[in-house]
Amino acid sequence: MNNSDIVQKLWTLCDILRDDGINYSDYVTELVLLLFIKMEYEQVQNNVDFSHKLPVGARWPDLAEKTGQQLLDHYRQLLVDLGNNKDPLIAAIYAEAQTRLKEPHHLEQLIKSLDSIDWFSAREDGLGDLYEGLLEKNANETKSGAGQYFTPRPLIDSIIRCVRPQAGETIQDPASGTAGFLIAADAYIKSQTDDLQKLSEKARNFQRSRAYSGIELVPGTRRLALMNTLLHGMEGIVHLGSALGPTGANQPKVDIILSNPPFGTAKGGGGPTRDDLLFKTSNKQLVFLQHIYLGLKPGGRAAVVLPDNVLFEAGVGTDVRRDLLERCNLHTILRLPTGIFYAQGVKTNVLFFQRGTVNNPRQEKSCTKRVWIYDLRSNMPNFGKRTPFSENNLKAFEHAYGEDANGNSPRSENVEGVGELSRFRVFTRDQIRERGDSLDISWLKSAESLSSSDLSTPEALAGEALAELTDALRELEQLIEVLGAGYEVSSQKQLMSEVMGLGADEGAAEDE
C-alpha cells in the first residue's frame, strides 16, 4: 500500500464524520486532530531520531484502549490538556482544539480504521509526505476553504529548483498556508546534504529549529502548518498573525522568501496596518510584495506568486513596481497557465528577484537592467482534474531559467520558437519604462486565431453572410410549402421586401 492508497483510505473516513453531522469544510480539521496523535506515535516506533512530543496519557495507546463514553470524554479532555501543554509547539498545535464528534461509536470507528492502515508502508514513504498528501487531497476536493492554502506541489518544487536554497540560509513564507514552500525547501536542502548528515551538529540544529519561519492569519490553517512541519522533522515557527500588520513588520530580514499570498482586496476594516511601508493600498498583493522585497537581506532572493493585476495596476501599483525595479533585480517572470489554482480563471505569475545586485547587494537604485519573461500561458491546455498540471509542464522553463539562482545563467530567447514565436523573451528596463512600467507583457498569438492579413475585407465578409442567409431562407421557404402553408411564404416575402427596401415590381419579379 503506497501513500496515495493510504490518503484515499483516510479520505473515506470522512464518511464517518459526515454521519456525525460534521460539515464537509471541517473534515480535515477534525480528522487531523486525531490523525496527528496516531502519526506521532508511529513516527517514534521505528525512528531513533524522534522522541515523543506528546505526554503520557495523550498518546495513541491511551486512546485505543478505551471505548464508549469513557473514550469520548477522555478524548475531549485530552484536546484541552494538549492545548495547555508546556511544550509551546504542542500547545500551539492544539490551541482551542475541540472535537465536534457526538457519538462515541464514531470515534471508535475512526480509531479502529486508523489502526488498520499499513503504517509500516507509510513510514517507508514518509509520514510527513502522507500528511501533506491528505492536505492536497482536501484542496483538490474543495472549491474553496483549504484549496486556497495549497499551492500545487509541481509548481512549488519547480520554484525551489530554480531558487536553490542552501543550508544555513534563513527562509520565510509570509503567507504560509499549510507550509508547503517551507517543507519543500527543507526537502531540497536535505537532498543536497544526505538528509543533513553532511552538516555539523550545530548546522543540523539550525536547520531543524531556526532556518524556517512563516506567518499564517487563520488559526486552523496554522494548526495544519505546525503539524505538517513537525511531521517533516522541522520545528521552525509559523507565527499566528498577518504579514500586513505588526507581525509582518517585526520579522527579521531573511535570505530567501517564497510565497503565494492570498488573492483579493482587504475589506471591512481588515486592511493592511503597516506603518513601515512606503505605499499605502488596500490591494493585499501589493502590500505583500512590499513586505517581501523589503524583508530580504542585501543579496537575498525571492520567488512570489502574484495575480496579473500586480503587473499592470496603475497608481500605487505603478509606484510599487518602480520601487521593486529600483531596489531589486527582477530578472525573471513566469506567466502561469490558468486552472492550476482553486480559483478557476485567475491569471497568475511567479516573480523571481534578488535584493540589490550580484556585484553590489546593497545597491538601492537601478538594480533591474532587463527582465526575462516566460509565457507558459498562451496555447496551453485547460488544466484541471482531467488535465493535471505536472512537473513535465515546467521542465522547459527550468532549463531556460538556468542553474544560477539569481537568473545570471546564459539564456536564449529561442524556446519552442524563434523571436516573437518564442516562449522566452527579454525586455530591457527602457522598454518596460516605455510601457509605463507595466509588466503585463504578452506577445504569443493564439494558435487558433487568424492574423488580420488572413481575414477577408468587411465587404466580402458581409456578402458571404448575406449569401448564407439567402440560402437558409430558400430552404425554409421550401419546407413551408411542403407543409402546405404556401400563403405564409407570400406574406413573409412581401414583408421582407418592404424591410429591405425592394419595390413591388422587384418583389413580384422574385416570385416568378
Q: What is the pLDDT of residues 439-492, one digit of tens each?
A: 999 999 876 544 444 444 565 556 556 655 665 666 666 666 655 666 556 666
Give the separation between CA 483 and CA 507, rounded to whole angstroms: 23
What pTM did the predictor assign?
Answer: 0.80
Per-residue pLDDT of 119-154, as tens digits, reads 766 655 566 677 777 777 766 665 444 445 568 889
Average pLDDT over residues 330-349: 84
Q: Are residues 259 and 385 in the same domain?
A: yes
Tens digits of residue pLDDT in 254-290? 999 999 998 766 554 445 668 889 999 989 999 999 9
Number of domains in the chain: 3
| Distance between CA atoms of residues 360 and 397, nearest Å | 27
Confidence of residue 509 (pLDDT cuts 50, 70, 90): very low
Residue 106 vs residues 9, 18, 20, 69: alpha-carbon distances, Å: 16, 10, 7, 11
Residue 1 has pLDDT above 60, yes or no: no
Residues 104 and 240 occupy one common structural domain? no
Q: Mark whether 123 and 177 lie in a shared domain.
A: no
Q: Which of 36-45, 52-61, 353-362, 474-483 has the lowest mean pLDDT?
A: 474-483
Segment 398-419 shows an average pLDDT of 93
Residue 170: the pLDDT is: 97
Query: What pairing do the DSSP bridges indicate for beta strands 237-240 and 212-216?
Result: parallel
Instruction: Tell me, yes or no, whether 139 lies in a domain.
Output: no
Of the chain, the percentage scoring pLDDT greater than 70 comes to 78
Domain of 323 in residue numbering reads as: 167-434
- With respect to residue 138, please indicate whether it lies within any of the assigned structural domains: no
Per-residue model confidence as pLDDT tens digits over 71-128: 999 999 999 999 999 998 899 989 989 898 999 999 999 999 888 887 766 655 566 6
Do strands 296-307 and 348-355 pair parallel, antiparallel, or not at all (unpaired)? antiparallel
Model confidence pLDDT, tens digit, residues 178-201: 899 999 999 999 999 999 999 999
Both 115 and 176 in one domain: the answer is no
407 and 481 co-located in one domain = no
Report d(CA 82, CA 97) in Å as an integer: 9
CATH assignment of the domain containing 398: 3.40.50.150
Structure confidence at residue 510 (pLDDT): 42
Residue 161, in any domain of the structure: no
89 and 193 in a single domain? The answer is no
Residues 268, 413 share a domain: yes
pLDDT at 176 over 50: yes
Q: Assess whether 66 and 178 both reside in one domain.
A: no
Closest by Cα among 383, 352, 440, 326 to 164: 352
pLDDT at 471: 58
Q: Are residues 465 and 404 in the same domain?
A: no
Last residue of a domain, one of 434, 468, 496: 434
Cβ-count burial 159-197 (b if 16+ within 10 Å, e if not): bbbbbbbebebbbbbbbbbbbbbbbbbbbbbbeebeebe
Average pLDDT of the chain is: 83
Same domain, 192 and 335: yes
In a domain, 267, yes or no: yes
Q: Give the 3-state secondary structure of 207-265.
A: HHHCCEEEEECCHHHHHHHHHHHHHCCCCCEEEECCCCCHHHHCCCCEEEEEECCCCCE
Name the nearest CA neighbour of 389 among 184, 157, 163: 157
Residue 493 has pLDDT above 70, yes or no: no
**421, 505: one domain:** no
What percent of the chain lies above the pLDDT cut of 90? 50
Q: Is residue 75, in this structure, part of any structural domain at all? A: yes
